[in-house]
Amino acid sequence: MPLVSINPATGVQTQRHREHTAGQIDSALAETHAAFLDWRHLPVNERARHLTALGTTLRRQKNTLARLITTEMGKPLSAARLEIEKCAACCDFYARHAARFLKPERPPGSPKNTEVVFEPLGVVLAIMPWNFPFWQLFRAAAPALMAGNTILLKHASNTSGCALAIERVFIKARVPAGLLRTLLVSSKQIPAIIKDPRVRGVTLTGSTAAGRKVGALAGAVLKPAVLELGGSDPYVILADADLDLAAEVCAEARLTNAGQSCIAAKRFIVVESVRATFEIKLTARMAARRIGDPTSKNTDYGPLARADLRDELHAQVHKSVKRGARVLLGGNLPENGKGFFYPATVLTGVRPGMPAYDEELFGPVAAIISAKDETDALRIANDTAYGLGAALFSRNRRRARALAREHIDAGMVFVNAQVRSDASLPFGGVKDSGLGRELGGFGIREFVNVKTLWIE
């Protein structure tokens, strides 16, 4: 079955790719494994030189790569350029800091003749999503490569063009052959690839359902897996919050990438005493954001990536309204026009039993949930199967820090700011949001053999 790319802004098919054959899959496995056998012995400073070359190549091709992202998944060109810049910066970060992260250690209290070293595992299978088609790969690949591993990429089928472009970036950067190979395969072929002895680890960014399947497959053959999964991030607005700041940050956090992000703001939990005012401010800011042609510099957010994703989101909105939620903005499918656009939507009166409360809304829909007080707001924030990111708004920064640290069950909590990733900090969640961490020093040690040496 061919892998098809459709321009989300027009609904027009742009590319068709044939799936790789069993022979092509084996060839890619052989090449990445052979490359690992040499790459693992290359000094870290030499690996760093190649990572820097990758970053340079990304910047040189930024406009071309950004246009491909926009064509395949609908991200505005301005945001797509920023995505490429972020990938390049991630390469630079690990080129500068990997040696320190991988430096041998002697743990406190251990015998003087011992040390712990960090050695690469081998080929890492990266199963990546469409929403940030370059960044998701590079944030996993940059630390894994600097640790001495190599990468086998299985991308989302609708961004196969981006997957092939990533492989070309490696070629144009003149890094050693085989450090990354792209596979054009369906999900049906993943189990056999994970079982192959040449694959030594798996990293996946995707849905919780996909994470459970991949985690089970990796666990069955005793291979480590990093699973970065879904989120239903709560943004908690306390009674003493700066409501103008909160509304502006919340609107941006809900509409970035048309809301198609695991760390997008999803649930807006507002203390009742300020709910009405916050609703007015958030709705106004959501309405002011411009939806349209992602190639236009005047566009704030573009279409959803696929027709089925829009249909699913609209069904969640419709069911929530049917069960008692009220629409303050949007909520209707465009009557005319091409592409997979969905308007900025604000729902209020959201309660348990509604999809807007219980499920992840992967699109530009804000769900406002009323809380009686601070204690109730924190309870609601944790009343979810997910635990990826969260944000809390309060003028009392010291108090907010204590609440964020001690009372919100998530992998990342931001105070008076939008949840986002940074190459220097660990990224990941708890509960149904996944296992393991990407980025920072923690990310580079996910796919290493932590080896104890004892020398007499």
Number of H helices, E strands in the chain: 15, 17
Residue 152 sits in the same domain as residue 240: no
Closest to 93 in 3D by CA, of 38, 48, 32, 36:
48
Determine which one of 90, 91, 162, 262 is catalytic: 262
Q: Is the pLDDT of residue 206 over 90?
A: yes
Residue 185 sits in the same domain as residue 281: no
Place of tokens 């049906």: 188
Tell me how far apart the 2 most distant CA atoms of the chain are, in Å: 77
**Active-site residue flag, 115:** no
Determine which one of 72, 228, 359, 446 is catalytic: 228
C-alpha atoms less than 13 angstroms from C-alpha of 389 in its C-beta half-sphere: 22
Residue 202 sits in the same domain as residue 250: no
The number of domains in the chain is 2
Q: Is residue 348 part of a domain?
A: yes
Q: Is the pLDDT of residue 45 over 90?
A: yes
Residue 442 sits in the same domain as residue 406: no
Residue 386 sits in the same domain as residue 249: yes
Q: Supply the mean pLDDT for the chain.
A: 97
Q: Is residue 103 part of a domain?
A: yes
> % helix / strand / coil in the chain, to the nearest 5?
45, 20, 35
User: For 274-306, how does the pLDDT look when each residue is reduced to its tens digit (9 = 90+)?
Assistant: 999 999 999 999 999 999 999 999 999 999 999
Residue 214 sits in the same domain as residue 237: no
Q: Is the pLDDT of residue 336 over 90?
A: no
Q: What is the DSSP letter of 301?
A: B
Residue 250 sits in a domain whose CATH number is 3.40.309.10
CA distance 190 to 236: 39
Check residue 1 and give its pLDDT.
76
Q: Is the pLDDT of residue 337 over 90?
A: no
**Active-site residue flag, 456:** no
Residue 170 sits in a domain whose CATH number is 3.40.605.10
- Reported pTM: 0.97
Give the mean model confidence (pLDDT) for residues 296-324: 98
pLDDT tier at 384 (50, 70, 90 boundaries)?
Answer: very high
What is the DSSP code string of 242-265? Answer: -HHHHHHHHHHHHHGGGG-STTSE
CA distance 444 to 74: 31
Residue 55 sits in the same domain as residue 69: yes
Q: Is residue 361 part of a domain?
A: yes
- Which domain covers residue 67, as residue numbers? 3-228+430-454
Angle between helical axes of 160-172 and 44-60 (0-180°, round to 10): 120
Residue 15 sits in the same domain as residue 63: yes
User: For 126-161, how does the pLDDT look when each residue is reduced to its tens digit (9 = 90+)?
Assistant: 999 999 999 999 999 999 999 999 999 999 999 999
